[in-house]
Amino acid sequence: MNMRLKLSRQFKLLIAVVIILGAVAFARLNVFKSGSSASGTAFETEREFKKANNYIRTKMIFNVDSMSDFIGLLDRISSKESVSVLKKEQSGSSVVFLAEIQEEDYSQILSEIREYRGAGSKKEDTKKNTDFDADIQQRLDINIKLKNKYLKDLEATKQAYTSDRLRESLNLVQKTIDSLEVQLKTLSHNKENNLLFLNVGAKPSMIKGVLTSTSNMALKFVIALVGLTIATFVILFVINGILSLMSLLGIRTSKGSGGGKSYGSYKYGSTGRYGGYSYGRYGSNRKRKVKRIYKDPETGEKTEVTSTDNNK
Structural domain count, the chain:
1
Is residue 91, in this structure, part of any structural domain at all?
Answer: no
d(CA 184, CA 113): 32
pTM of the model: 0.50
Q: Which residues pair with 98 in a beta bridge?
A: 87, 197
d(CA 184, CA 191): 10
d(CA 145, CA 184): 17
Is residue 155, in this structure, part of any structural domain at all?
Answer: yes
Question: Sign (positive/negative) of CA torsion 200, 202, 203, 204?
Answer: negative
d(CA 204, CA 228): 32
Angle (CA) 258-259-264 rounded to 5° is 60
Instruction: Classify 53 as helix, strand or coil.
Output: coil
Is residue 273, in this structure, part of any structural domain at all?
Answer: no
Is residue 148, in this structure, part of any structural domain at all?
Answer: yes
d(CA 69, CA 166): 65
Say which DSSP state 119 is in. Answer: B
CB 287 within 8 A of CB 311: yes
d(CA 193, CA 298): 143
Is residue 257, in this structure, part of any structural domain at all?
Answer: no
d(CA 159, CA 145): 23
CB 154 within 8 A of CB 163: yes
Is residue 116, in this structure, part of any structural domain at all?
Answer: no
d(CA 43, CA 59): 13
Report residues of the chain scoring pLDDT below 70: 1-5, 30-39, 120-122, 129-134, 205-213, 252-291, 294-296, 300, 302, 304-312
Query: Would you state the pLDDT for residue 84?
Result: 94
Residues 6+ apart with CB under 8 A from 134: none
Query: What is the distance, to the nearest Å, from the Cα of residue 211 to the centroid of all Cα atoms in its chain?
Result: 30
Query: Would you state the pLDDT for residue 109?
Result: 93
Query: Would you state the pLDDT for residue 208?
Result: 57
Measured torsion, CA atoms of residues 245, 248, 251, 253, in degrees rounded to the nearest 10: 60
- 26 class by beta-carbon count within 10 Å (0-12 exposed, 13-18 middle, 19+ buried): middle
Is residue 147, in this structure, part of any structural domain at all?
Answer: yes
Query: Would you state the pLDDT for residue 142?
Result: 93
Say which DSSP state 92 is in. Answer: S
- 94 class by beta-carbon count within 10 Å (0-12 exposed, 13-18 middle, 19+ buried): buried
> What range defines the domain where residue 150 resides?
136-189
Is residue 157, in this structure, part of any structural domain at all?
Answer: yes
